[in-house]
Structure formats: structure tokens, C-alpha cells
Amino acid sequence: MTLIKTMARVTTMARLASLALAITATWAQAQATPGSTPASPPATAPAIAAAAPAAAGAPIPIASGPAEGQLPPAVPSPVATSGATPAGTALPLPLAGWDIVQIGPGYYSFRYTGTRNVFLITPKGVIVTDPIEPAAARILREQIRKLTDQPVKYVVYSHQHWDHVLGGQVFKDEGATFISHANCLAHFDDMPNPRLVRPDVTFKGERYVVRLGGRTLTLRYLGTNHGDCLVVMTPDGTNVPFIVDLASPGGMPLPMIPDYSLHNWVRTLRELEGWDFAQYVGGHGPPLADRSRLGERREYLEALMAETQKEMEAGTPEAQIPDIVAERLRVRFAHLRGFNGIVRDNVRRTMAYYGMGW
């Protein structure tokens, strides 16, 4: 009986994981609304390009291909290599297939459908970040072998959410050490998932440095924002941090903004805006984003919060507030992907923030 219950629990958790990924996919599709630039289809077949040292601002396409279960399109399209356009302009969200680009010396970004990570190749091994999901991780592992014969020594989680962290088993099987902020453990315990590899090493405090083969990946914890265990990662030698889910470039937040503390989110974005870098890699979207996209997201949140609070304090009927606020925000933010389909849910979430304290 115990075995049956255990198997049932594993099956349930697997279904929940699939649901979580489906929710993320729904958000991504909502961002591809009319008026947005459509995502590029996958390439017809994986292609490897010679890796040359990349300068920040000029990512080099390394490889691309269809995602697991996808068929190649009739007409291939090139790997997107930019996206570092300034705030205030429309920016497409790549959704089809997968690709790898080189950001700097030994520093690469891998995208699988709508989710992105980074990895760092050193003379003594490889540091991989968010393994996304099993299908993504299998492709990533295969492509890393084409770039280096070094093993994957570390896998670093940016935070606890399943759309970023469920593909790690392929790296654990070769002996990789998994790292996260200590606060992630409570979430992993509260919501176990059979596809999640539990961290071997955790850290507390504001800073942790992963060292391997003469290279470093610095992890910085900025407190509560998107959950309470998210870290920003920056490699040595290339000042392009990996900033996950705090400002997906050119897009709207998730409709109901789940697991975000709105005021702490704004605080974190202001702190990041004070750092000295020109571009960053986001957890969703193009390989590089201009730093102004951080300010764009902060300004959207501040306007969302101010306009929603204004209508609530004025006694405007609750049913009317989403439409009223949406029209005010449209003046400045209509270029954001998925604005029309998402903005009203953002307002409803903000009404709960001011009305219920969460």
C-alpha cells in the first residue's frame, strides 16, 4: 500500500511539473500577440559554428536545432544573435527550437524554446546554470561535448521554479555538484518533484563564488523579489550578468504575477540598475538585453502600482479598474509583448496586493 501511495505521489508531482511548464508556455504564447514580432521557427538541423572569442554586444551563434518532438520548418531561419535594443522598442520572444550563442570567452547562453540559461567552459570543467527540463538538458549536454571534452562539474540553480530547474539528472549522472541559495531548500521540500536534483551545496548571505579551472562565477543574492532564493550570476572576464525572471526583455510579467513581492521587485531592479554593466542575459528572450530593459520593467511596475492604487483609493468600482488602468498604461507600454492580453490581469494582481497585503 505504501508503494502504491508513493507511486501515485510521484505521478501527481510529474503532472504538476508538466502543468507548471504549460503555464509558462501559455504566458510565452500570450506574449506573441498581434502587434508583436513572431518568434523564429527552428533551424532545419543542428549546425555547429567555429567558436571565436566574443565581445560583449556581439554574441556569436554556435548551434541551433528543433526542440524535442518538433519538426523542422520548410524554410529555416538564422539564430537570433541580438535583442540588445534599448527600452521603448518592440522585441520578439524566440520560442521555437533551441540555440546556443557565445557571449564572451568561454561564456555561452543556451535557449530551449522559451527558456534560457548560461554556461561557462573552463580548462578543468564546465559550470552549467539552470538545466530547464530533461529534453533541454539532453540537448545541452550533447552540444557541450562538441565544444569541450571537459565534464560538467557544477550546476547552479538561479531559483526554485520548475520551468528552470528540472533537467539536472543528466549532469548528476556524471557527478556534477549542484548549488543553490539555502532558501531554495524549503521550497524543494514543500513542493518535491521527482525530476528535481536536490542541491549538494547551499549558501547563505549575499555572495558566493564558484571557482573552477581559473574561472569564477559570482552568485549574488538580493533578498526577496521573485521568491526568496533567486541569485544573479556574473562570470569573470565578461561583465554580462545572468538575470532570471526579473526583467524578461521587452515583455510583460506573468498575468497574475505569481511569487513576486511587488515592492521588493522594484527595489531589486533599482539595485541592479546601479550596477556597472551594459547588457545582460535574461531567463527568457533573446541572448542579450540592453540594461535599459531593467528600467523599463521597473517603470512599468511603478506605473502599474501607482495607477491601481489611485483608482482603489478613489473608490472606483473594482470591475472598472482593470480597463481604466490598462488604458493609462497603454500610452507608455503598449510596445511590450503581450500587453493587450496580460495587462488587466496584472492590474487584478496589484489590486490584491493593495487590498489584501500579498
pLDDT digits (tens, 9 = 90+) for 185-217: 999 999 999 999 999 999 999 999 999 999 999
Longest dimension (CA), the chain: 64
According to the model, what pLDDT value does residue 61 have?
94
Q: Are 152 and 176 in contact (CB under 8 A)?
A: yes
Give the pLDDT band (50/70/90) at residue 93: confident
pLDDT of residue 94: 84
CA–CA gap between residue 342 and residue 142 (Å, rounded): 37
Q: Is the pLDDT of residue 291 over 90?
A: yes
Q: At what angle do helices 292-313 and 262-273 cross, to 10 degrees?
A: 150
Strands (E), 52-97: 60-65
Amino acid at 17: A
Above 60 in pLDDT, residue 71? Answer: no
107-112 and 115-122 strand pairing: antiparallel
- Mean pLDDT value across the chain: 86
How would residue 107 be classed by pLDDT, with cut points 50, 70 and 90? very high
Domains and CATH numbers, the chain: 39-70+83-245+259-292 (3.60.15.10)
pLDDT given at position 169: 98
Q: In which band, very low, low, confident or very high, does the pLDDT at 59 lie, cut at 50, 70 and 90?
A: confident
Question: 90-94, 293-297, 351-355 — which is least confidently predicted?
Answer: 90-94
Grid coordinates belonging to 132: 530547464
- 232 close to 219: Cβ distance less than 8 angstroms: yes
Whole-number pLDDT of residue 10: 39
Average confidence (pLDDT) over 60-84:
64
Q: Which of 53-67, 270-284, 313-327 has the lowest mean pLDDT?
A: 53-67
> How high is the pLDDT of residue 187?
98
Per-residue confidence (pLDDT) for residue 25, from 0 to 100? 52
Average pLDDT over residues 312-335: 98
Chain center to CA of 353: 24
CB 160 within 8 A of CB 245: no
pLDDT at 32: 55
For the purposes of burial, counting CB atoms within 10 Å of the CB of 106, is it exposed (0-12), middle (13-18) or buried (19 or more)?
buried
DSSP 318: G
Band of pLDDT at residue 27, cut at 50, 70 and 90: low
What sign for the dihedral angle of Cα 24, 35, 90, 120?
positive
User: In the chain, what are the helix, strand and coil shares in percent, each to the nearest 5?
Assistant: 35, 20, 45
For 141-156, how does the pLDDT look when each residue is reduced to its tens digit (9 = 90+)? 999 999 999 999 999 9
Are 98 and 65 contacting, i.e. CB atoms less than 8 angstroms apart?
A: yes
> Is the model's pLDDT at 45 over the cut of 90?
no
The larger pLDDT score, comparing residue 144 to residue 78, is at 144
Average pLDDT over residues 279-308: 97
Q: Does position 68 have pLDDT exceeding 60, yes or no?
A: yes
In the chain, the percentage of residues whose pLDDT exceeds 70 is 80
* Cα distance between residue 231 and residue 290, in whole Å: 19
Give 76's pLDDT tier (boundaries 50, 70, 90): very low
Determine the pLDDT at residue 358.
Answer: 87
As a whole number, mean pLDDT of residues 284-290 equals 95
